C-alpha cells in the first residue's frame, strides 16, 4: 500500500504545510461464527459488544484530501463458544504477520507500530490526531520518542491520570474546577476556552491543555430510536506543541473527522468489512482493496474537482448504470434484428448467408456506443 500511496503523492503538491496523521478505529461486524479469528469486540457507536473484528487505521490528511496509509486487525480474548480454534500465522512470514499482530498486541501498540512504519517509509506530518480512547500518557510519550515524530493533538478523558499544575497534581476534572471561572469566549470558535501549561506523567516536558465549553462532535450516523447521550458541559484537549493558541488546537482537532468519513464511505460505497469469506487472509485482502480504492478515488477527486469522494463514486456508478442499460437495450434489438434478417432471407428465398450483413451492423453499433465497464 505504501508504494501505491507514494506514487499518488508524487503526482500531488504536498509541499504545503499542515499535514496530519489520524489514528482511529472501527468495528467490522460479522454474522458468521465460523469465520477465522472472529471475536466479540465493543462497538462505541452501538454501545454494545458485537461479533466481528476491530480495525485500527492510520490515515494521512493533506491539503489534497485524506488517504488511508496503514491498518491492523485486533482480536479480543472473548470468542463465540462455537467458533473454531484461532488460526494464528507465523510472524516471520508476510501472510502470518497480520494475525500474529492482531492476537499479540493491543490497539495502542498496533497504532504505534503503524506510525513508526509510516515515518520509516518517508511519510511526514506536522501533527498526529486521535480521540480520547488513545489519550494515555504512556502512548503519547511513546509517540514523542519516535525519531521525526509529529506533535500530538488529542481529546482527553477524565481518568485517574494526574497532571501537574502550579506545583500540585490534579485529575482532569479537578483541574477544570480550578480554572473554570477563567474561561473566556473565543471569537474564532464561539466556545468558552481556557489554555494552560501542565506536566504530563512520565515526562518532564510541558504540554498544553485546553478546556472548552459548548464543543460537540457530529455523529457519523444517527440511529433511529437510539437514546441520545447528554452532552458534556466541558471537554479538554491536549497538545504537545506549546506554540499553538487554544482556538487553533480546536480547529486542528476537528480535522480528525476525516477518518470517520473515510470509514463511513468505505463501508457504504466500497464494501469495507462485507467480504463473506471465512478465511482471515481474504478479509485482510478485502480491506486492503477497499482502502486502495478510496485512495485512488481521493486522487481522482482532487484532479477532477468532483467535490467529495462520495459524489465522484456516485458519478461513476451512474455512468456504469447508463452503459449497462445500453448493453441490455442493444441485446434486445440484436435479437430482433437477427430474427428479422432470418425471416426476410427465408421469405425471399435468398441463399446468401445473412450473417455477414448482421456482423457489419453489429460492428457499427458497437463503435458508436461505449460498451465498457467501470470496475471502480
Q: How far apart are CA 249 and CA 143, in angstroms?
A: 18
**CA 213/CA 233 separation, integer angstroms:** 6
The whole-angstrom separation of Cα 96 and Cα 87 is 9
pLDDT range class, residue 225, cuts 50, 70, 90:
low
3-state SS, residue 273? coil
pLDDT at 353 over 80: no
What is the band of 124 on the pLDDT scale with cuts at 50, 70, 90? confident
Q: For 286-320, what is each residue's pLDDT tens digit?
A: 999 999 888 888 877 777 665 555 555 555 545 44
* Residue 327 C-alpha from the chain's centroid: 35
> Residue range 351-367: average pLDDT?
65
- Would you list the domain boundaries of the chain? 1-131+278-305, 151-255, 313-368
> 328-344 pLDDT, tens per residue?
666 767 777 777 777 77
CA–CA dist 289, 270 (Å, integer): 9
Average pLDDT rounded to a whole number, residues 121-131:
91
**pLDDT exceeds 90 at position 176:** yes
From residue 361, alpha-carbon distances to 290, 322, 329, 338, 356 in Å are 41, 22, 15, 10, 9
* Whole-number Cα distances in Å, 182 to 129, 168, 211, 244, 251: 27, 18, 10, 19, 21
Residues near 166 by beta carbon (within 8 Å), at least 6 away in sequence: none
Which DSSP letter does residue 223 get? P
Answering whether pTM is above 0.85, one says no
What pLDDT is stored for residue 366 in this prediction?
Answer: 59
Tens-digit pLDDT profile for residues 135-148: 999 999 999 999 88
Average pLDDT (84-98) is 82
The mean of the pLDDT values for the chain is: 81
Amino acid at each position: 500500500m505504501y508504494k501505491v500511496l507514494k506514487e499518488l503523492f508524487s503526482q500531488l503538491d504536498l509541499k504545503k504545510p499542515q499535514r496530519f496523521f489520524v489514528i482511529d478505529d472501527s468495528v467490522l461486524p460479522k454474522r458468521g461464527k465460523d469465520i477465522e479469528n472472529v471475536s466479540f469486540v465493543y462497538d462505541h457507536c452501538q454501545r454494545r459488544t458485537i461479533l466481528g473484528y476491530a480495525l485500527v487505521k492510520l490515515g494521512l490528511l493533506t491539503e489534497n484530501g485524506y488517504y488511508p496509509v496503514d491498518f491492523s486487525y485486533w482480536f479480543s480474548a472473548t470468542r463465540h463458544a462455537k467458533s473454531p480454534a484461532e488460526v494464528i500465522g507465523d510472524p516471520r512470514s508476510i501472510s502470518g504477520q497480520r494475525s500474529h499482530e492482531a492476537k499479540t498486541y493491543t490497539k495502542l501498540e498496533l497504532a504505534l507500530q503503524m506510525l513508526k512504519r509510516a515515518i520509516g517509509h518517508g511519510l511526514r506530518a506536522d501533527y498526529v490526531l486521535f480521540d480520547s480512547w488513545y489519550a494515555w500518557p504512556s502512548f503519547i510519550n511513546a509517540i514523542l520518542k519516535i525519531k521525526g515524530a509529529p506533535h500530538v493533538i488529542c481529546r482527553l478523558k477524565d481518568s485517574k491520570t494526574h497532571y501537574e499544575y502550579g506545583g500540585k497534581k490534579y485529575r482532569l476534572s479537578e483541574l477544570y474546577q480550578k480554572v473554570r471561572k477563567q474561561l473566556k469566549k473565543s471569537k474564532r470558535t464561539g466556545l468558552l476556552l481556557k489554555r494552560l501549561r501542565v506536566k504530563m506523567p512520565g515526562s518532564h516536558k510541558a504540554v498544553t491543555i485546553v478546556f472548552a465549553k459548548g464543543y460537540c462532535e457530529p455523529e457519523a450516523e444517527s440511529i433511529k430510536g437510539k437514546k441520545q447521550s447528554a452532552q458534556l458541559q466541558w471537554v479538554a484537549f491536549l497538545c504537545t506543541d506549546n506554540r499553538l493558541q487554544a482556538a487553533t488546537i480546536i480547529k486542528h482537532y476537528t480535522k480528525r473527522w476525516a477518518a470517520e468519513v473515510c470509514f463511513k464511505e468505505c463501508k457504504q460505497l466500497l464494501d469495507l468489512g462485507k467480504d463473506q469469506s471465512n478465511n482471515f487472509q481474504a478479509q485482510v485482502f478485502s480491506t486492503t482493496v477497499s482502502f486502495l480504492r478510496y485512495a485512488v478515488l481521493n486522487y481522482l477527486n482532487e484532479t477532477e474537482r468532483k467535490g467529495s469522494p462520495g459524489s465522484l463514486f456516485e458519478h461513476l456508478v451512474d455512468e456504469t448504470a447508463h452503459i449497462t442499460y445500453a448493453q441490455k437495450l442493444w441485446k434486445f434489438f440484436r435479437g430482433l434484428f437477427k430474427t428479422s434478417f432470418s425471416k426476410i432471407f427465408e421469405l425471399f428465398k435468398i441463399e446468401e448467408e445473412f450473417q455477414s450483413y448482421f456482423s457489419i451492423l453489429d460492428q457499427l453499433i458497437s463503435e458508436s456506443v461505449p460498451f465498457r465497464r467501470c470496475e471502480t
